[in-house]
Amino acid sequence: MNLRGAVDLSALKARADAASRPDAGRQVPAGSSPYIVEVTEQTFPQLVQLSSQVPIVVNLRSTHSDQSNQVTAVLEAATIEFDGRILLAQVDLQSQPQIAQALQAQGVPTVVAVVKGQPVPLFEGLLPAPQIQAYLDELMKVAEANGVTGTLNDGTQPDTVPAEEPPLPPLHQEAFDAIEQGDFQTAAAAYRRALAEQPADADAKAGLAQVELMGRVQELDAEEVRRRGADQPDSVEAQLAVADLDLTGGHVEDAFKRIVDLIARSAGEDRESARKRLLELFDVVGTADPRVTKARSALARALF
């Protein structure tokens, strides 16, 4: 999920956004509920940050599609019923191609959730209303399992603007500016300098892992990478590239399992390279994530 570094890095950059654009992210309701908002590439990162409070349901749609309009109507009705426990983000596929690309949407309707900055694929195409509701109910269970149990309904009009925070430290701001330009190499260098100054800087460590991942997948041909992965099951390079794609596509557990399995059947430098990459991906996802905890146990079994 790569929107010029916005996803997952939103927590690091939101301070600068809030300071320079105090109204950024405030949306005009798309429907009768204040929890239904229209989203653009510029305002999407602010909503990603809210995904640590409530699940964000991203509806990639086209008003010219009857199927898309039917799905939109069901999602809007369900959002009203959830009364602030989810936020429905409406995205026009044609006018916001960067968001569609980040969420790997191939057509409309496509519905993807974001929970704690991580994409959770839901469904594509037209489904019956009860089945869509079942997906949303399952999403709430996933959110709860990840500690996302908040609400936007505090008795007042919800505000989708993250609270203004202090400016970023200079090196973090330098990294953010580079990310905005798609220059992940410069961003990584800034984070490394920040870590050299403060080795315990958790934000810099997480940021470095994320921009390095973005840099690796930036120019990859997904079809070619997956073909090589299938043809070369014992190639560390091929398998790690597929794992990178899996992670950026939201398939976190698949990425972790692929590398753990590779470690289990590897030795020497190959095993160590795979182990280091797995630890880097743990930092991308977040060490408190239950999927990381599970994968750490699997790694220990593979190593010992």
pLDDT reading at 258 higher than 60: yes
Q: Could you tell me the pLDDT band of residue 1, with boundaries at 50, 70 and 90?
A: very low
Q: Could you tell me the pLDDT band of residue 165, with boundaries at 50, 70 and 90?
A: low
Note the pTM of the prediction, 2 decimals: 0.50
Whether domain 170-303 has CATH 1.25.40: the reply is yes
How does the average pLDDT of the chain come out, rounded? Answer: 82
- Per-domain boundaries in the chain: 10-145, 170-303
pLDDT reading at 29 higher than 50: no
Domain 10-145 sits in CATH at 3.40.30.10
User: How much is the pLDDT for 32?
Assistant: 55
SS3 string of the chain?
A: CCCCCCCCCHHHHHHHHHHHCCCCCCCCECCCCCCEEECCCCCHHHHHHHCCCCCEEEEEECCCCHHHHHHHHHHHHHHHHHCCCCEEEEEECCCCHHHHHHCCCCCCCEEEEEECCEEEEEEECCCCHHHHHHHHHHHHHHHHHCCCCCCCCCCCCCCCCCCCCCCCCHHHHHHHHHHHCCCHHHHHHHHHHHHHHCCCCHHHHHHHHHHHHHHHHCCCCHHHHHHHHHHCCCCHHHHHHHHHHHHHCCCHHHHHHHHHHHHHCCCHHHHHHHHHHHHHHHHHHCCCCHHHHHHHHHHHHHHC
